[in-house]
Amino acid sequence: MTQSRKTVLLVEDAPAVRSALRRCLEALGHEVREAADGRAALEELTRRAPDLVVLDLVLPQVSGYEVCEALRASSAEAHRNVPVLVISGRVLPEDRAEALEAGADAFLSKPFGLTEFRARVETLLRGAAVRSARPVPALGASSTSSAPRLALVR
């Protein structure tokens, strides 16, 4: 189980799948917000950036690809950097590539086991925590490193 409670936005149009994944995420100690279609996901994202998005690709109204692209194109850094785990019945290599090009961080093909799902979720959340914990120089400070840096400006 994770050390601190994280917020996961679960975007899945199949009620039975959404319910099972919700229970799994809650058992891990996470707060779960849900959306049954792409438009609801985009509305939910305007309220508050989650720590992780679990996203189906084939959704009513707005596709998962479009949700992912909107997230990555957001002017809010918190949205651009949130990890995205795509879950999809689409299994072709082209589908995986398209999801990754849209901004997904990981891809699970349906059907998948809950053990692998839990491992992917925890790995993505752990990676996000490590990235956000890295020190960032103050604005205007010089750095000899050529590595990309992120800074939150409020």
Q: What is the mean pLDDT of the chain?
A: 86
Classify 7-133 by CATH class. alpha beta
What percentage of the chain exceeds 70 in pLDDT?
Answer: 81
Quick: pLDDT tens for 113-153: 999 999 999 999 998 765 555 444 444 444 444 444 444 44
Q: Kindly give, in sequence order, each residue whose CB lies less than 8 Å from that of residue 57, ignoring residues fewer than 6 positions away.
A: 63, 64, 65, 86, 88, 90, 95, 99
Cis amide bond preceding 111, omega within 30: yes
Token pair of 47 as six digits: 């309220």
Confidence of residue 27 (pLDDT cuts 50, 70, 90): very high
Give the start-to-end residue ranges of the domains of the chain.
Answer: 7-133
pLDDT at 98 > cutoff 80 = yes
Question: pTM score, two decimals?
Answer: 0.81
